[in-house]
Structure 1
Amino acid sequence: MCGIAGIFHLETAKPVDPARVRQITDAIAHRGPDGAGVWTAPGVGLGHRRLSIIDLGGGAQPMLTPDESLAVTFNGEIYNFAEVRRELEAKGHRFRTDSDTEVILHGYRQWGEDCVHRFDGMFAFALLDRNTNALWLVRDRLGVKPLHYAQVSDGSIIFASELKGLLVHPLLRREPDVTAIEDYMAYGYVPDDACLVAGVKKLGAGETLRLVRGQPLAKPQRYWDISFADRSSAAPEALEEELVFLMRSAVRSRMVADVPLGAFLSGGVDSSSVVALMAEASGQAVKTCTIGFDVAALDETAYADRVARRFATDHRTRIVSSEDYGLIDTLAHHFDEPFADTSALPTYRVCELARENVTVALSGDGADEAFAGYRRHRFQYQGERIRSLIPDAVRKPLFGTLGRFYPKADWAPQAFRAKSTFLELAQDGDEAYAASVGVTSRAMRQRLYTPAMTSALAGHRAEDRYLNAMRDAPAREPLDRAQYADMKIWLPGDILTKTDRMSMAVGLEAREPLLDHRLMEFAGRLPVNQRIRGNSGKYLMKKAMEAYLPQDILYRSKMGFVTPISSWFKGPLAGEASAVAGGSAIARTDLFDLKAMGKAAADHRSGLADNGRLLWQLLMLDKALTRLFSL
């Protein structure tokens, strides 16, 4: 796991100052504390920060072929590199190192751009082909590893693993993109096809971009996509067996490392499954770590302890308390763009805890998206069944009326908060799902925006991104479309961004075996009843893991990795909430209605509404605007 950066002149081969490249890599030094490298040639400069995982002595980058016709800077891991290397050696290729980086160079020389189809891993890399005056940018299938790029005024393309690397370049203009603010306010993160800094782009998951000197900036090309268009006809028992085989293979391939390795363990189905399969494959105790909370309703440490004892892991626990709100500035620094998923805080703490003993940690990310594990998936599936039974002419006015008149009761138990359910059932399924994945409703956003903001948006609506993804999905059923959209938008934009930034903040490599692309392709072929059965998501995965995990781990209610922010904004963060509605960076943009923001803060303090997450969103946006644009 590393940080990569570079400069490539599209028009002519102007000299590249190595100090400029080094300045970019220094900005992302936390991603690679073990080494740094810069290489330049006419018209190009490549930079690298290294976190040593494989071939500790021989994997320095940027790496070149002996004739220096190819050069690469690489972030990530290619898990099947030994297998690919053997195939290349059989074809006459000779290797000088034991690193997976060198496999990229020889693979490209042998197969050209088709080499990416042979790589199983998480990666972002830039490969220079001096014979064709081209730079090839590549991102892994699911978007585990990030890559930002922008064209600046001298005609060059600059790229880096994180936005902060680009920000040090003096020719990058810093202007906010208001459509990205709308996206952030809707989702709580800035999606991969947007950026808060206008003109900056993120290479999408499963995409490549070929830059050729003398040619205009091209468009990215997709080389992989998940499909829900086919259905497996295998018997349930055979599906269980295949799933365990794929999970076992994915876990074992990610246990290859020349440094200490462990796992995150929350006590939920996903991380517990990963730990179970690690214990099966390991000859020594697996190192595991858990973060708990000082709020009993949010704490899962008892479940994690039980799994740790079952598999005799070397287990450690740490508690997140209300005082951890002091990490706000640390989070803002590492995310660059505003990021309001409050689980980032405990994710940082669990990465920090893991890094004390290991350099690589396996996580359970990805299973919810692949196997329909979120509550919203069940609601969407059940809602579509209701929609199919009641004609639109009856359903829309019936549930619309119920939704309008049912009281909004944030303070009530979940079973009595039916207003949003009624309103969703009054909508078409795709519209309802697009609204359900958001964290701030369109109505609330419109109340918060000034007329100037509404005008600047020019009709842009964040929910349309989900609607477009679902409309274009290679899918058969509504649940397929919802999961596809989650994998294209939510997974890389929220879940993987969170894990990447928080693990890299402490120099830890996080690996996600449940995001193995073959496992994802298998999940996409599952019949719906193997994903959702009754009120249980991830049905097949839970059945397949019954041989490993106890029933109360597999079938208990999902808790999620959350923090008590609502109580923080009535206590230690009350002043921060009031300040955002006053003389803040947000206030200086003239995009938000200060009275509406102040009311949201006052209503939260008085208990009239639970606006904790909204206040957190506004606070993180304020900090990002201050950092990025000096507002």
Structure 2
Amino acid sequence: MCGLAGMFDGTGTRPMDRGLLRRMTDTLVHRGPDGSGLFAEPGIALGHRRLSIIDLAGGAQPMTDPETGVTVVFNGEIYNFPALMDTLAGHGHRFRTRCDTEVILHGWKQWGAECLSHLDGMFAFALWDPRESTLFLARDRLGKKPLYYAILPGGLCLFGSELKALACHPDLPRDIDTEAVADFFAYGYVPDPKSIYRAARKLAPGHCLRWRRGGEPQLRQWWDLQLAPTAGDPADVAAQLEIATRRRLIADVPLGAFLSGGVDSSAIVAQMALGMETPVKTFSIGFGDRAYDESAYAGVIASRYGTDHTARQVDPDSFGLIDRLAGIYDEPFGDSSAIPTFQVCALAREKVSVALSGDGGDEVFGGYRRYLWHEREARVRRLLSPGFRRVLFGTLGKIYPRADWAPRMLRARTTFQELALDDVDAYFLSVSATTERQRRNLLSLDVRGQLHRSDYHPIEVLRDHWRKADGADPLKQAQYADIKTWLPGDILVKVDRASMANSLEVRAPFLDHRLLEWGVNLPASVKIAGGEKKAILKQAMDPFVPADILYRPKQGFSVPIGPWFRGPLRDMVREALTGSLLSESGFVDAQAVEMLLNQHQGGYRDNSRILWLLLMFQGFLRHDAASRP
């Protein structure tokens, strides 16, 4: 796992500043502490930081093919590189290393841009082909590895694994994108392909960008999740998960696994234990608050499989990490589980360089509570006309008492409101980090005015993907939308930045693209059966994981920020949110922020989620101001 950065002159061959390239590359030292390399000639510059995982001696980058001069910098792992080496050798290619990076070079020589369809893994790379004066940027199918780019006036393209690399360039405009701010307060993250800066973009998952000097940059989607009915049984799930896990055990460095005590991480540890000759090194994080602590369940799995288990407790005392989050994520990022994710990555890095995780199990097999409610509500919507639903449920939603504090099953007002809406509008309501009213009150008049003039609403992010899954069953539509938004925008960003900040590589077997394509396309009836989420996965894991872990209520990897904001972090959060930086930013209404604080700290309402978003936005503003020239 590594970090890359670079510059490309799309209009000519202006000299490249090697000192600037080195500064861009060195901002990514955490992603690659084991080595660095630079390649620069007129019109093109590529930089790399390396975390050595495979072929420790022979995988230095940038890597250049001596015959063609094609040069690549690459971040990620290609799991099928041994098989690809054999295939390419059959076409006459000769390899100098046993490194997956060289497979990309030879794959480009053999297939051009179509080499992407041959790559099985997680990757982002930048490739320079001097024969055609062409820059080629590519990102893996699901967006496991990040890649930002910006095209400046005059045709200079900047690119890098993290936004901080681009921000090193003095000519990058740092104007904040108002639409991205609205998206952040709606979703809790800035969805692809936007970034928080108007001038910078994320290369979207499954996309590539090709730019021949003197021409125009061409953006193309090279992969999409195809939705088509399929069949399967628990035995198929177990077999596919075993294969996906085994593929991810290739490493020339120590390897372990995260173990939360939930279904997904327990399933991965079980598969690893069955396929490894030595005890699996496992790592878990616990909390002093038992309502948030799953460490006892992690201990059950560790004991069953005889793992070399390490656990650590996270409490408010260790919450100094809040100040570091803005620098780690570069953009506002509102998932509070970034805290324990960082801590478990730091814990794992003490003993291993690679860790497997259970990420993706919920998206693939229908594990989120919102899927269950969405599928049930969608069935009701199909029985009643839109007009009747809007009148009946819209009225009930207005008169029924608000109960935001209660479990979902007791929040009839929310259910009535969603039943009055179309599927996509209702799903947006269920995935939103804040309510429409909260955003309307919170965002400043100026921001609301800009959004009104541009006729922009954050639901458009979700609606664009919803249309592409038109005709699929309601559960599959929701899964497709999550795989395009929530998964790359929240889950994968959280894990990538937290792990890379600790120079740790994380691999996710559930996100093997073959397993994902098959699992998403299973009938809804086997994923959610009798109200049981991930039913087919749980049946498949029944021989490997105890029933009290498989069938206990889903807990999630969350932190008790609500009580912390009223207790040990009370003064810290108030000082941050009522200071001049946030109030003078022009993005939020200071009186609305004060009211949210008073309600929460007075015990009248749980505003912890929106307060956390504000705290992360304030942290971004502070970091952005400090990093400007």
- Relative to the length of structure 1, the TM-score reads 0.97
Q: 1:413 to 1:222 in 2, by over 3 A?
A: closer
The reply on whether 1:130 has 2:130 as its aligned counterpart is: yes
Question: CA–CA distance in 1 between the matches of 2:610 and 2:578?
Answer: 16
1:402 aligns with 2:390: no
Deviates more, 1:119-128 or 1:584-593: 584-593
What residue is the counterpart of 1:142 in the other structure? 142
**Which residue of 2 is the match for residue 273 of structure 1?**
267
Partners of 1:368 and 1:176 lie apart in 2 by 33
Superposed displacement of residue 474, structure 1: 5.7
User: Is 2:438 aligned against 1:438?
Assistant: no
Kindly state the Cα deviation for residue 417 of structure 1 after the two structures are TM-superposed. 3.0
Bigger Cα displacement from structure 2, 50-59 vs 567-576: 567-576
Structure 1 Cα separation of the partners of residues 314 and 574 of structure 2: 25
Aligned equivalents of 1:341 and 1:231: distance in 2? Answer: 33
Mean Cα displacement is larger for which, 9-18 or 421-430?
Answer: 421-430
What is the letter of the counterpart of residue 621 of structure 2? L
CA distance in 2, matches of 1:324, 1:414: 31
Q: Aligned-pair distance for 1:581?
A: 4.4
1:141 and 1:206 in contact (8 A); partners too = yes
List aligned pairs for 1:53-132, cutoff 5 A.
Answer: 53-67=53-67, 69-132=69-132
Relative distance call for 1:111 and 1:413 in structure 2 (3 A) is closer
Conserved 8 A contact 2:147-2:162? yes
Task: Please give the secondary structure, in 1, of the residue aligned with 2:205.
Answer: coil
Check if 1:453 corresponds to 2:447: yes
Residue number in structure 2 paired with 1:206: 206
**Contact between 2:176 and 2:198, CA under 8 Å: does it hold in 1?**
yes
Matched, 1:539 2:538: no
Q: Structure 1 CA distance, aligned partners of 2:350 and 2:573? A: 34
CA shift for structure 1 position 154: 4.3
Provide the C-alpha distance between the structure 1 equivalents of 2:405 and 2:240, rounded to a whole number of angstroms.
43
The residue number in structure 1 matching 2:245 is 251
Give the Cα separation in 1 of the matches to 2:509 and 2:186. 30
Q: CA deviation at 1:607?
A: 1.4
Distance 1:629 1:197 in 2: 13
Deviations 1:37-65 (A, max 9, x none): 00112210100000000000110000001
% identical aligned pairs: 48
1:318 corresponds to: 312
State whether structure 2 residue 468 is matched by structure 1 residue 472: yes
**1:77 and 1:461, CA in 2 relative to 1: closer, same or farther beyond 3 A?**
same
Q: Pick one of 344, 355, 372 that aligns with 1:350.
A: 344
- The alignment's C-alpha RMSD in Å is 1.4
Cα distance per residue 1:48-98 (max 9 Å; x no partner): 000000000110000001135200000000000000001111221111111
3-state SS of 1:304 partner: helix
Q: Which moved more, 1:261-270 or 1:585-594?
A: 585-594
1:336 alignment partner in structure 2 = 330
Corresponding residue for 1:156?
156
CA distance in 1, matches of 2:594, 2:438: 13
What's the offset of the Cα at 1:616? 0.8
Contact map agreement 1:16 1:40 (CA 8 A) in 2:
yes
Deviates more, 1:112-121 or 1:241-250: 241-250
CA distance in 2, matches of 1:116, 1:53: 21
Q: 1:523 to 1:414 in 2, by over 3 A?
A: closer
1:579 to 571, 575, 578: 575
Alignment match, 2:221:
222
Shift of 1:412: 4.0
SS class of match (1:619): helix
Counterparts of residues 360-439 of structure 1 (less than 5 Å): 360-412=354-406, 414-439=408-433
Q: What is the letter of the counterpart of residue 488 of structure 1?
A: K
1:518, distance to aligned residue in structure 2 (A): 0.3
Aligned position for 1:50: 50
Q: Is the 8 A contact 1:227 1:474 kept in 2?
A: no
Give aligned pairs, total.
625
Equivalent position of 1:481 in the other structure: 477
Question: 2:15 matched to which residue of 1?
Answer: 15
State the alpha-carbon separation in 2 of the partners of residues 604 and 325 from structure 1.
19
8 Å contact kept, 2:126–2:138: yes
Gaps spanning 5+ residues in structure 1: where? Answer: none
Q: Is the 8 A contact 1:226 1:524 kept in 2?
A: no
Q: Secondary structure at the match of 1:112?
A: helix
Offset, 1:226: 0.8
Q: Kindly provide the amino acid, as one letter, of the partner of residue 167 in structure 1.
A: A
Amino acid of the structure 2 residue aligned with 1:256: I
Conserved 8 A contact 1:266-1:272: yes
Which letter maps to 1:449?
Answer: L
Secondary structure at the counterpart of residue 569 of structure 1: helix
